[in-house]
Chain A
Amino acid sequence: GQNIDQPTEMTATEGAIVQINCTYQTSGFNGLFWYQQHAGEAPTFLSYNVLDGLEEKGRFSSFLSRSKGYSYLLLKELQMKDSASYLCAVRDTVTGGGNKLTFGTGTQLKVEL
């Protein structure tokens, strides 16, 4: 099984940088995803890491260390619209392949003026 931990809430200022951490303990690992979810909406895909290192995509970057069971999502030049829940999810190694994701409970980010 999987156990995923991330902070419940974070607050940051518009224009600043924020780092959301995620740690996981797994019996199998086949990639880590970050999703953004605004209240009342579906999760939208942000990033995917399967190898160690940093993946950068515009204002968003995600880092993975498999040996430490650790990932973070970095958001730069924060905007008010970035206020949302950020979900860390790990994909299991499952027999025969598959897309079973285990999600953390999400980090509610509030961006203030």
Chain B
Amino acid sequence: KAGVTQTPRYLIKTRGQQVTLSCSPISGHRSVSWYQQTPGQGLQFLFEYFSETQRNKGNFPGRFSGRQFSNSRSEMNVSTLELGDSALYLCASSLAASGETQYFGPGTRLLVL
């Protein structure tokens, strides 16, 4: 069974631009969570989607948003990029909304110049 896939793997943007990242979960997994990983802050929870609905949200500004499609694929969008948004963005999928182990994708490394 294929693992979690994320595209693109690497991205360079400039301040003020917006970016959309994509995540395809493991087949059969319906929950998708997004995390931001930086050297200073570690892994921080952004949001979780299940059945096309946002179930949980972390403490990030409204510039960070996401959505989930009927096939469980998910996208996250960051608008008005700031230098501090440079990070590894990880997507994790699990079978159901709760009580299941999350499996991570390889991540998208975003550099904001």
Contacts A94-B56, A104-B42 given; does A99 touch B33 at CB 8 Å: yes
State the majority secondary structure of interface residues on A.
loop
Instruction: Give the residue name and chain of the B residue nearest to A92 (CB).
Output: B56
Contacts A30-B98, A42-B105, A98-B98 given; does A103 touch B42 at CB 8 Å: yes
Instruction: Give the residue name and chain of the A residue nearest to B31 (CB).
Output: A99
Return the contact of A97 from the options B90, B92, B98, B105 (Cβ within 8 A): B98
- B55/A101 in contact, CB under 8 A: no
Contact-residue bracket for chain B: 20 to 34
User: How near does chain B come to A83, taking the closest CB pair, in angstroms?
Assistant: 18
CA of A31 to CA of B102, assembled, Å: 12
- A48/B101 in contact, CB under 8 A: yes
Contact-residue bracket for chain A: 20 to 34
User: How near does chain B come to A35, taking the closest CB pair, in angstroms?
Assistant: 8
Q: Which of B11-19, B43-51, B67-75 is the interface stretch?
A: B43-51
A22 close to B (CB within 8 Å): no
User: How near does chain A come to B62, taking the closest CB pair, in angstroms?
Assistant: 18
| Residues in chain A near residue B8, CB distance under 8 A | none
Chain A 80-113 per-residue mask, 1 if CB under 8 angstroms from chain B, else 0:
0000000101001010111111111110000000
Contacts A97-B97, A97-B99, A99-B56 given; does A42 touch B48 at CB 8 Å: no
- Residues on B facing A (Cβ under 8 Å): 4, 31, 33, 35, 42-45, 48, 50, 55-56, 58, 90, 92, 94, 96-107
